[in-house]
Amino acid sequence: MTAPLIANLGPTELILIVLVIVLLFGASKLPELARGSGRALRIFKAETKGLMDDDEADATTTTTATQSQAQLELEAKQRDLAERQAQLDAEAEKLQRGDTA
């Protein structure tokens, strides 16, 4: 395997690259280019952070909604069981009294 190209660059190569960039863009344009790149990176970082926050908020909302729905289902089942228990208790009481209606 070969090592990454940037690892093989020495100080002479880096100086040559900087000189070519200065010649292409001009010394007066370099600060403006750097500022523009910095702004673009800040905007990109803020947008990706916003997307991650949105994903976390959606996950939290979904989890909360699922838990609420599960809680409502559990309460409905408990009410149903309580009604069935009351019916069974009434039947048991009738049988103990001897009512066969």
* Residue 84 to residue 87: CA distance in whole angstroms: 5
pLDDT at position 1 over 50: no
Q: pLDDT tens-digit profile of 4-32?
A: 556 678 889 888 988 888 888 787 888 88
pLDDT at position 85 over 80: yes
pTM greater than the 0.75 cutoff? no
In the three-class reduction of DSSP (H, G, I as helix; E, B as strand; rest coil), residue 86 is classed as helix
* Residue 66 to residue 39: CA distance in whole angstroms: 40
Find out whether 37 and 45 touch, Cβ atoms under 8 Å.
no
Residue spans per domain, the chain: 11-97
Q: pLDDT tens-digit profile of 20-64?
A: 888 887 878 888 888 888 999 999 998 888 887 776 776 667 777
